[in-house]
Structures are given as C-alpha cells and as structure tokens.
Chain A
Amino acid sequence: MKLELLFEQLFGTEHQIVVNGDFVSGTASFDGQTLGIVGTTHHAPIGVAMALQQARVLLDLMADHPGRAILLLIDTQGQQLRHLDELLGINRAMAHLGCCIDLARRQGHRVVGLVYDQALSGGFITSGLIADACYALPEAEIRVMRIPAMARVTKLSEEFLTELSQTSPVFAPGVQNYLAMGGLRGVWRGDLQVCLRDALANAPRTDVRAADGQARGGRLLAKTVADQVIAA
C-alpha cells in the first residue's frame, strides 16, 4: 500500500509524518494518544546510515517521551549490500537499532511493527521482528533473500529454488507463511484503525512466536525443542 493512503486510513489528517528520501518519521494522533512513527519506504536498503537514522528517533523517543507507543513502518529490500557498509560494521549498526527497539519495549513503550509493503532479511530482524508484535498488510511481501543470491549461497539451482518457493512454507515467501509460523502476530484487513487499536491494546509483551507457530501448525518444532532443552 502507498504510504499516503496508509496514513490516511490509519490517521486521517491527524499526523505529522515526514518522508525524507527513504526515511519515515514523525508523530500521529490516535484515539487521543500520540504515537511515535519510524520506518522506511521505497524498498529502502538498510545500511549503516539508515540504521542510525532510525535508532536516533528511538533514542529521542525514550529520552523525551517515555512510554509513548511506537509504530514501526516496514518497507525494505534488506541490508545494504555494499563494501563500505561492511567495512563500517553494518552488523553493529543494525544490532544497535535492534537494541534500541528492545530497550524501548523494556522501558514500557508499546512497539508494534507493520510490514506495509516489503520486508527482507536483515532489514526485518532489526525492526518488526524485534517489536512487541509484528503485523502485515495482506498484499505485503516477506522473504529472506532473492533467489539468484540464494542459489549462489546454497549451490542449489535457480530453477529448483523457484519451484520450491511455490510449494514449501518454510522456504516460500509470503505473508500467510509468516503468519502460520508465528513470525507475524496477525494480518491487518478491513478497517486499519480497528487493527491498530487492537494491536496497541493486545500485542504480547513477551515473545510468543514459537507458541503461535505451533498453535497455527506452521512451525511445529520451535517451541517443543526449546522446551525440551529447558527440561533436559
């Protein structure tokens, strides 16, 4: 969904969200409370700079507006695939962003992620996947890596991987697969204000994704095996 339409459906005109290049930030008014908004658009690659821009917003929110609920808006092609970003420690910058989101949760900020367009891999791990809960619009796309790069890493053929991506839920991209595996708490359909209201009120504070994946039949071993380790 286009950002402008998303803003209108969620907040009407009651928002001050600025899109600056690929970077999205600002505030919105919802049910009488102010929400902090941070995210990306245009399928942004997440490099060191973009990770730090987002982290900056989170640090300021924690310092200046303790407890304010935060909505993460996700549209990314994944981590920036550049030599300079690797040299500068992109993994450290992304971990820093993830730690900022994690600390915000621990300090009592409600943090909700929404994949409104596309989510890939490293750009997703340090945003929606470390929120209290992550949701997606039905038409969103979620995947780990594009098939040509995957073929190179796995040494499996592109043809084989393309075929697999039609049939295997643990491999195939898609909102429904992530929902079944517990990676998404829910899919937002219909009135998006109702969906956001529900998320802000009911997103779990602890990590329930393995249990969700088991209950929904999409990821049967994650919780079982973790419990076995605890009991061993």
Chain B
Amino acid sequence: MNISFGECTARERLSRLFDAGSFEEWLPPAMRVMSPHLAQLGVPAAFDDGVAVGRARLDGKSVFVAAQEGEFMGGGVGEVHGAKLCGWLQRALLERPEAVLLLAESGGVRLHEANAGLIAVSEVMRALLDVRAASIPVIVLIGGANGCFGGMGIVARCADRIIISDTGRLAMSGPEVIEATNGVEEFDSRDRALVWRTTGGKHRYLTGDCDFLVDDDVAAFRAAAISVLASGSLALTLASLEAEHQLLALRLQQARPGDDGVDIWRRQGIAQAALVPDLSAAQTRALTREVA
C-alpha cells in the first residue's frame, strides 16, 4: 500500500523508511532537550525542538539518520535544533557509518531565534562538508509539505545526492517573502502552478538540482535511498567544483528575463515541456532518458 511520505510525521518517516525497528534516537523527546528562547514569545516549545537524530539500518547497512519535523515551526532551525544536527554530523566522523541521511523539511532559519539559527545553519553546513571530506556520503531526502528552503536549501545542495518527490520543493526564499519584498508582479505566491514550476520536485529533477525524482511514497524513497547507498561518495575537488561552475554559468548565460520553468525544460531539449506539470514522476524520469 502506498504511504504518503509527505503526510507522515518525522518519526513515522524514520520508522517506515529504514529497516523495521532499527531506528535508535539520540536525545529523544523524553529527555526534553528544548529551545530556551520560545517562551518569551509566547510560542510553545517542542520536547525535541523539531528534529529527531540517531542511527538506523538501511537494507542491513548501518547509517546515521535525521528527520526535521515540519509540523513544528515549519522545521525551522533554532539553536537546539541546529546543535542536534551538528552533534549528529560530528559523531558520524567518529563512527563512520555507511552514509548519513537527512530527511529535510524546513523553512530554514527559525526567525524567532534568528541570530542563533543563522549561525547554527552555517555550523551544520560546515559539519556536513566535514563529513563529505571524510568520504562518508551525505544524502538529503525532500518530500515534506513545507519543502526545503532558506539556509536548509543551501545545506541540501552541499550534500552528495538529493532525492525529491514530485510533491517536494527545494528553493532559497519562499514565494511569500519574494512577493512581500518585490510585489505580486515579481512572484505571485498564490499561483500554485507557478510555484511548482519554479520550486517543485520535477523542475529540480529536470535541471539536475536533484538526482532522483520519486513518487510521494515512503517505499519509493526507501528504494531510491538503497540505490544511492551503492554509489558511494562524491569527492568535492577543484575539478568537480570547476565542472559545477561551468554548468551553473551556462545556465545563467542561457537565462532570459521572464523565463518560466517550461522555457528552461524546453531549452534542455524536452519537446513536450508544457505537459510536464501533468506528468507522473515516472513519466518525468522517462523524459530525461529521451534527452540523454
């Protein structure tokens, strides 16, 4: 039976995606490691500060896993939330799991503790790159209702691989923030189709910003994660960053004012680009094989 990844809580995702009964959580809710900053705002705190970290097994292999809870403050990274992720990544350097998997769902920095959150996200970024430098693969999975935005959108792109569902979103600034700053003509946040063509999983997959596109299904995420495990880690080197630079520079050079997602897909050689929003994940994956 199809179980929606998007509709699961963070812990449901962890228990269903990894081998049955294998998830062991560090600093679980019973320990009540909470944000000290929310009370003064009259905002309720959570016993886990919105993130679960620990280890599990994936197809029998020992991996480190973490999941952000979008239902709590949109998965925003505060001081404690970020510290849990940092400690988890630092521990990976000591114990060298087969891989590190982050189920990201976050609006980025938790604005209620903005300064601490901003520093924390940058600490997570550095810790993640330390793990990669140790040749331990870092895999990010995106499929929660809140997407993966802000600083966490940057962190995600620091990983070896990204798996996203067709209902997942990956971007920097939320459409609402862009609209609030530069007007509805710049980005109409209520135009859901436009939002999906700009930030949605299909767009990110077709442009190569994400490596795997899956259905909104826990089993599909699990299968993709298992297949990624076999491919090992990607070293960040001067040559690999130069290749990344060439790709991004070409993309920028080809961009035109007023571009839509459809224009970008067409430019990539997808003839039926206008139909992409109606396609399933499998049909969208088939498009890139046609181009290749």
Contacts and interface: CB of A to CB of B under 8 A. Distances in A.
Q: Do A and B bind each other?
A: yes
Nearest to B187: A83
A148 B182 CA distance: 12
A125 B116 contact: no
Given A87-B264, A182-B119, A99 B255 contact: no
A100 interface: yes
Nearest to B207: A89
Given A229-B53, A229-B88, A87 B27 contact: no
Interface residues on B, range: 35 or more
A81 B95 CA distance: 40
A114 interface: no
B16 to A, nearest CB: 23
B213 interface: no
Nearest to A161: B111
B255 A122 contact: no
Interface string A182-226: 110000000000000000000000010110010000011111111
A124 interface: yes
Interface string A120-150: 0110111001100000000000111100111
Interface string B245-288: 10011011001011111001000000000000000000000000
Contacts of A5: none
Interface stretch (A12-20, A29-37, A51-59, A68-76): A51-59
B118 interface: yes
A96 B123 contact: no
A10 interface: no
A130 B123 CA distance: 8
A103 interface: yes
B200 to A, nearest CB: 11
Contacts of A44: none
A79 to B, nearest CB: 5
B245 A81 contact: no
Contacts of B174: 153
A84 B238 contact: no
A48 B79 CA distance: 28
A229 B33 CA distance: 11
Contacts of B227: none
Interface residues of A, number: 79
A3 interface: no
Interface in B214-265: 236-238, 241-242, 244-245, 248-249, 251-252, 255, 257-261, 264
B198 interface: yes
B115 A181 contact: yes
B173 A207 contact: no
B84 A229 contact: yes
Contact of B186 (A82, A183, A220): A82
A98 interface: yes
A93 interface: yes
Given A86-B173, A144-B117, A232-B27, A103 B236 contact: yes
A150 B127 CA distance: 27
A188 to B, nearest CB: 19
A124 B111 contact: no
A209 B177 CA distance: 29
A220 B87 CA distance: 15
Contact of B182 (A82, A100, A173): A82
Contacts of A41: none
Interface string B102-134: 000001010111111111111101110100010
A222 B123 contact: yes
B248 A52 contact: yes
Contact of B79 (A63, A95, A102, A222): A222
B79 A170 contact: yes
B41 A226 contact: no
B83 A91 contact: no
A49 B251 CA distance: 10
Contact of B154 (A59, A94, A103, A172): A94
Given A125-B125, A230-B90, A81 B158 contact: no
Interface string B75-87: 0000110111011
A90 interface: yes
Contacts of B157: 89, 91-92, 94-96
A86 B116 contact: no
A1 interface: no
20 contacts: A59-B238, A83-B198, A87-B260, A88-B251, A107-B238, A121-B150, A125-B118, A130-B126, A153-B174, A164-B40, A169-B115, A170-B113, A181-B119, A182-B119, A207-B126, A222-B123, A225-B84, A225-B87, A229-B87, A232-B26
Which 3 residue pairs of A and B lie closest in terms of their CB atoms, listed nearest first? A229-B87, A226-B87, A95-B157
